[in-house]
A and B are shown apart, each in its own frame.
Chain A
Amino acid sequence: DQQVKQNSPSLSVQEGRISILNCDYTNSMFDYFLWYKKYPAEGPTFLISISSIKDKNEDGRFTVFLNKSAKHLSLHIVPSQPGDSAVYFCAAKRRDISGGSNYKLTFGKGTLLTVNP
């Protein structure tokens, strides 16, 4: 049962245009969402995050939008640059109802973004 889904395995965009990466989730207990970028032979690098109580978070060229009713989030990159070419993972953290702080992250399968010069 895949709780975090990235349905597009790949996306190709021209340099300077907008890249939109999508992510859907099924577990309503998720309360925090993160995007990671991964280059080959490197570990995932944290990009941007959003709490479930917000609907938008912006950091420079990166903006994450959250639509809780649709259980959908998206990452916008504007303008896209060739150096943005990488695999992008959507990840989610579940609210710990026991009051603890379990930092388990559930990841999607990733989307390969290619930005063409």
Chain B
Amino acid sequence: ETGVTQSPTHLIKTRGQQVTLRCSSQSGHNTVSWYQQALGQGPQFIFQYYREEENGRGNFPPRFSGLQFPNYSSELNVNALELDDSALYLCASSLRTGPSYEQYFGPGTRLTVT
């Protein structure tokens, strides 16, 4: 069973640039969620994708967008980067059905905006 993978591991961008982060779900999982974890904080929900459609969104502006592909992998895109976007970005996969609400996280992408 393959776990959740994310790429790249680290990224440095300049304010105003655009970035794309990638995530591969755990085998058999059909739902992907993205979280932002700032230093000293817990992960904050950005949005969730199911069947290639956004299914719930947190308090993040529209310049944060995403995609889910037929193989359930996903991308997080951030436009017009700001210094405050510097954070660890976590992807989590889960199964839509069933009693378990566990989400399985990848190792994250550390984004630094200068």
Interface stretch of the complex, out of A14-22, A44-52, A59-67, A72-80: A44-52
Q: Total number of A-B contacts with CB less than 8 angstroms?
A: 64
Contact with B along A4-40 (1 / 0, CB 8 A): 1010000000000000000000000000101010000
Q: Which chain A residue lies CB-closest to B44?
A: A107
- Whether B48 pairs with A102 at a CB distance below 8 angstroms is yes
Within A76-117, the residues touching B (CB, 8 Å) are 89, 91, 93, 100-110
- Whether A44 pairs with B105 at a CB distance below 8 angstroms is yes
A70 close to chain B: CB less than 8 A: no
How many residues of A are counted as interface, with CB atoms below 8 angstroms from the partner's CB atoms? 26
B2 close to chain A: CB less than 8 A: no
Q: Which chain A residue lies CB-closest to B95?
A: A103
Q: Which residues from B are CB-within-8-Å of A89?
A: 42-43
10 contacts between A and B (CB under 8 A): A4-B42, A49-B102, A101-B97, A102-B48, A103-B48, A104-B48, A104-B56, A105-B45, A105-B101, A108-B42
18 new A-B contacts at CB < 8 Å, known A43-B4, A102-B56, A105-B103: A4-B42, A32-B101, A43-B90, A43-B92, A43-B106, A44-B105, A46-B102, A46-B104, A49-B101, A93-B101, A100-B55, A103-B56, A103-B94, A104-B56, A105-B35, A107-B44, A109-B40, A110-B42
